[in-house]
């Protein structure tokens, strides 16, 4: 017999439980209806999930700073996007505050966190406008002096599946 699927309507700042996890949705900045990131808690461990956002606000920074680990978008290299095949309208959308984080914006988030958040998975990399090496190099620059205290992983979309993601581990 199949279990019925539980559906939860996410509302910013209204937490709910699913599968034993406590989940707190928070607002991201994306051109979609009520885009959310999530803080996921279980047994004293906290994971932040933040993709599909063109900016990281002070509120988002502080929520994610308190996490043990964060999955954070590092969508595009600005140079690759500018010189890439997308039409200008799509490039503008991606670069906007309601688009996607660039490698540079992600590096700035990591710089802001300093020694906080020791586990970071860079995700949502564009196959056209980014490379794992570029995302990682930018993140390393953002981490700076705290490099030895971080575990950075780049999860790529190309050739990956839910059971076998490509990773670059440091």
Report domain extents, the chain. 55-169
Distance of CA 19 to the CA centre of its chain: 22
Q: 89-143: per-residue pLDDT in tens?
A: 999 999 999 999 999 999 999 999 988 999 999 999 999 999 999 999 999 999 9
pTM of the model: 0.86
Q: 64-75: per-residue pLDDT in tens?
A: 999 999 999 999
Length reported for the chain: 170
Q: Does position 159 have pLDDT exceeding 70, yes or no? A: no
Q: Does position 16 have pLDDT exceeding 50, yes or no? A: yes
CB 54 within 8 A of CB 34: no
As a whole-number percent, the residues of the chain with pLDDT over 90 amount to 72
Read off the pLDDT band of 158 (50, 70, 90): low
Read off the pLDDT band of 7 (50, 70, 90): confident
Alpha-carbon separation of residue 47 from 19, 77, 89, 91, 93 (angstroms): 15, 25, 34, 30, 28
């Amino acid at each position: 017999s199949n279990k019925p699927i539980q559906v939860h309507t996410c509302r910013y700042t209204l937490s709910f439980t699913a599968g034993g996890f406590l989940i707190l949705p928070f607002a991201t900045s994306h051109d979609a209806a009520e885009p959310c990131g999530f803080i996921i808690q279980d047994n004293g461990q906290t994971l932040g999930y933040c993709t599909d956002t063109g900016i990281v606000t002070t509120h988002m920074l502080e929520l994610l700073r308190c996490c043990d680990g964060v999955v954070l978008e590092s969508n595009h290299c600005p140079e690759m996007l500018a010189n890439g095949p997308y039409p200008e309208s799509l490039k503008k959308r991606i670069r906007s505050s309601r688009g996607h984080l660039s490698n540079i914006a992600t590096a700035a988030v990591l710089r802001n966190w300093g020694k906080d958040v020791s586990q970071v998975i860079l995700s949502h990399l564009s196959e056209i406008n980014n490379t794992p090496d570029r995302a990682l190099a930018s993140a390393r620059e953002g981490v700076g002096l705290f490099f030895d205290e971080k575990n950075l992983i780049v999860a790529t979309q190309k050739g990956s599946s839910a059971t076998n993601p490509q990773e670059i581990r440091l």
